[in-house]
Amino acid sequence: MNERFLPTHVGIIMDGNGRWAQKRGLPRKMGHRAGASTFKEIARYANKIGLKYLTAYVFSTENWKRPQDEVDSIIALLRSYLDEMDGYAKENIRVRFIGDRTSFDDDIRGKMARAEEKSKNATGLTLILAINYGGRAEITNAARRIAEEAAKGMLQPEEITEESFSRYLYTNDIPDVDLIIRPSGEYRLSNFLIWQSAYAEYVFMDGVLWPNFKPADLDAAIEEYHHRSRRFGGLSNQNG
């Protein structure tokens, strides 16, 4: 794929793990395991084609409501994946986590910090994992921090602009998402990057459940993105 045609930042809602498992008569956790392995393959592929930012929705603030054994299985996958992430620095992949980390055990938080630290100088793909992430929670937290600073007199109301506001989000130094891909037939954003996706294109892929998602599906979504004109509410087509 020609790098010129790549969006800068792609988001993926990794949906359909449960259905993939159900179809095979397997427990849902097997679907998550297959989903994690697909995710690793897609992350490597994204780096290979020269994508700069890929954000994956791994665990939402709503996912805690799932049965405990399913939550436990996703956390277990995360734990072992965090150990593997040490190898990303060598592949020139920079790792970031967005979401509220305070709900996780110390060892998980430590592994997240280590993965970020070890890979911080990588210049290839920035791989962002949204974990215990919710867009509304992110915006609410930003508003709270701004209010605290304003109450202390550190910030004047007129200094709050879209640009300054976005610096209080988890994604403060990450460009807005250009393309959001959701496989498996749901046409929802599910609280994913709701501020950052104001001008994003959405590609919903009905025919594929996340564990079956292939590099060719990423190519197809990027191709679709490329064909759509993006007007940003203005008159000119700014993105080809």
Q: Minimum Å distance from CB 36 to ligand FPP?
A: 4
Residue with tokens 């700069």: 52
Site string for ligand FPP, 40-69 (x = CB under 6 A): ------------------x----x------
What residues between 12 and 31 interact with ligand FPP by CB under 6 A?
Answer: 14-19
Q: Minimum Å distance from CB 167 to ligand FPP?
A: 27
Annotated active-site residue 63? The verdict is yes
The residue among 15 and 201 lying less far from ligand FPP, judged by its C-beta, is 15
Report the residue from 46, 74, 93, 203 that binds ligand FPP according to the rule CB under 6 A.
74
Query: Using the rule CB under 6 A, is 115 a contact of ligand FPP?
Result: no
Cβ atoms 209, 38 nearer than 8 A: no
The residue among 65 and 152 lying less far from ligand FPP, judged by its C-beta, is 65
Nearest to 21 by CA among 36, 12, 34: 34
Query: Whole-angstrom Cα distance, residue 55 to residue 182?
Result: 12
Cβ atoms 88, 13 nearer than 8 A: no
Bridging pattern class, strands 126-133 and 179-183: unpaired
Distances (CA, A) of 179 to 85, 162, 176, 185, 193: 25, 20, 9, 17, 11
Residues tagged active-site: 15, 63
Residues forming the site for ligand FPP (CB under 6 A)? 14-19, 32, 35-36, 39, 58, 63, 74, 77-78, 81
